[in-house]
């Protein structure tokens, strides 16, 4: 029997930050001390879902959904786009409050934490020049800035490496530049479930995906969003969502992409460096990395979020119980040419 027991196994690539690292990072980016202050800084209403009547409809969005694919939270998500008075380019901000259940999100009760990201032209501490890059902030249920958060029940891990693990970029230690080169994740409707009061909310999620394209997306993120919406502007086709889209670079093995990669790898890897192979924009990049066999089947390091790891290995358990779904470890092993473990994994 193979199992994961170390509490630092997941969300830890690049090293786990401590409070000193987090404090230095927050100081450099001049993080607002409260969620309310962060919302005001980014032009958002003081409370989730509050009205912004003078803002163009495509520039403000809110949605409720349960994310099945990465951390397993119900979420109340907000997005705002503003044209910067500094250079006329878009400043983009997202805030997501995590809850255990969709009804909790609907009622705004028992929040776990609120994770905020913005891509805005601002001057960091001690800097005169404004720069635009992805910055991370975490706020507790009381609205106060948090150094660390427990996102998977395995104990608290600290900003910003906690976020870099999935959003890409350089890992951070105190004294490093806070411009990590991180990216925004696209909103993958196929991975979500929804509260019956609001159902799918396709228009709101199209706005959020359009906002992602206004940041610094990798070529893989840009490709998949434009593939979902059949064009470069999700707001032009908000009701068009092709969940079966397969990038042209994967045309040689679309089943491997659809049945394994997009469920277990895509959510994090497509945020990797802009032109680097680790975003696996093409099948040849993935095969050149040995299909991730060593990381997923030998060391069990991947998938690197607890929830996604459970989806990957849980598919084998489900198949063994007779469910008609793909056995993801076996698909990866077949592609790599080696059996992907034959012992039970939990």
Q: What are phi and psi of 62, to 5 degrees?
A: -135, 150
Per-residue pLDDT at 72 exceeds 90: no
Q: Where are the beta strands (DSSP E) in the chain?
A: 60-67, 74-83, 90-99, 113-122, 131-139, 148-149, 157-158, 192-193
Average pLDDT over the chain reads 92
Judge whether 118 lies within some domain. Answer: yes
Is residue 277's pLDDT more than 80?
no
pLDDT for res 63: 94
Cβ neighbors of 310 (< 8 A, separation 6 or more) are none
pLDDT in tens, 293-323: 999 999 999 999 888 898 899 898 888 888 8
Question: Residue 274 is part of which domain span?
Answer: 248-336
Is residue 94 pLDDT above 90, yes or no?
A: yes
For residue range 116-148, what is the model confidence (pLDDT) as tens digits?
A: 999 999 999 999 999 999 999 999 999 999 999
Q: Is residue 75 in a domain?
A: yes
Q: Indicate if the pLDDT at residue 77 is higher than 60.
A: yes
151 and 294 belong to one structural domain? no
Given a cut of 60, whether residue 275 has pLDDT beyond it is no
pTM: 0.94
Residues 329, 196 share a domain? no
- When divided into structural domains, the chain yields a total of 2
Mean pLDDT of 251-277: 88
Residues 198 and 253 in one domain: no
- Asked if residue 90 belongs to a domain, the reply is yes
> Angle at Cα 114 formed by Cα 112 and Cα 120, nearest 5°?
165
Quick one: residue 299, left, alpha or beta (phi over 0 = left, psi -120 to 50 = alpha)? alpha
Q: Is residue 8 part of a domain?
A: no
Query: Do 65 and 174 belong to one domain?
Result: yes
Looking at the fold, whether 201 and 88 belong to one and the same domain comes out as yes
Q: How confident is the model at residue 280 (pLDDT cuts 50, 70, 90)?
A: very high
Q: Per the domain annotation, does 243 fall within a domain?
A: no
Per-residue pLDDT, 276? 64
- What pLDDT score was predicted for residue 282? 92
Q: Reply yes or no on whether the pLDDT at 274 is more than 60.
A: no
Same-domain pairing of 274 and 168: no
Q: Cα-flanking dihedrals φ and ψ of residue 233, to 5°? A: -125, 100
Return the bridge partners of 97, or none.
76, 114
Residue 7 in domain: no
Domain-located, residue 237: no
pLDDT of residue 27: 98
The length of the chain, given as a count of residues: 346
Same domain, yes or no, for 24 and 171? yes
At residue 2, the pLDDT reads 57
Q: Note whether residue 1 is domain-resident.
A: no
pLDDT confidence band for 346 (50 / 70 / 90) = low
Q: Are residues 25 and 76 in the same domain?
A: yes
Is residue 70 scored above 80 in pLDDT?
no
């Amino acid at each position: 029997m193979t199992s994961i027991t170390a509490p630092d196994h997941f969300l830890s690539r690049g090293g786990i930050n401590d409070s000193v690292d987090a404090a230095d990072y927050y100081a450099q980016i001049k993080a607002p001390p409260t969620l309310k202050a962060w919302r005001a800084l980014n032009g958002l209403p003081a409370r989730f879902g509050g009205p912004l009547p003078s803002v163009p409809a495509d520039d403000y969005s809110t949605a409720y959904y349960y994310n099945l694919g990465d951390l397993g939270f119900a979420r109340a998500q907000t997005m705002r786009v503003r044209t910067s008075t500094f250079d006329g380019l878009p400043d983009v901000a997202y805030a997501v409050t995590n809850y255990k259940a969709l009804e909790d999100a609907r009622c705004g009760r028992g929040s776990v934490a609120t994770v905020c990201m913005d891509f805005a032209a601002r001057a960091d501490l001690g800097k005169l020049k404004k720069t635009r890059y992805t910055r991370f902030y975490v706020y507790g249920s009381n609205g106060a800035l948090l150094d660390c958060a427990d996102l998977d029940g395995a104990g608290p891990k600290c900003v910003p490496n906690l976020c870099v693990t999935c959003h890409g970029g350089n890992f951070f230690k105190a004294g490093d530049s806070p411009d990590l080169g991180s990216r925004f994740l696209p909103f993958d409707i196929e991975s979500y479930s929804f509260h019956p009061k609001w159902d799918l909310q396709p228009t709101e999620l199209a706005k959020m995906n359009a906002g992602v394209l206004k940041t610094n997306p990798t070529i893989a993120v840009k490709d998949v969003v434009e593939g979902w919406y059949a064009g470069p502007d999700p707001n032009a086709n908000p009701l068009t969502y092709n969940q079966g889209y397969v990038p042209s670079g994967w045309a040689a093995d679309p089943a491997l992409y659809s049945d394994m990669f997009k469920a277990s790898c895509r959510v994090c890897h497509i945020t990797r460096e802009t032109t680097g192979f680790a975003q696996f924009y093409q099948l040849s990049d993935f095969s050149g990395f040995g299909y991730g066999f060593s990381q997923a089947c030998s060391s069990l390091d991947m998938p690197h979020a607890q929830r996604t790891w459970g989806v990957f290995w849980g598919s084998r358990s489900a198949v063994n119980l007779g469910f008609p779904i793909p056995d993801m470890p076996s698909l990866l092993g077949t592609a790599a040419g080696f059996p992907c473990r034959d012992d039970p994994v939990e």
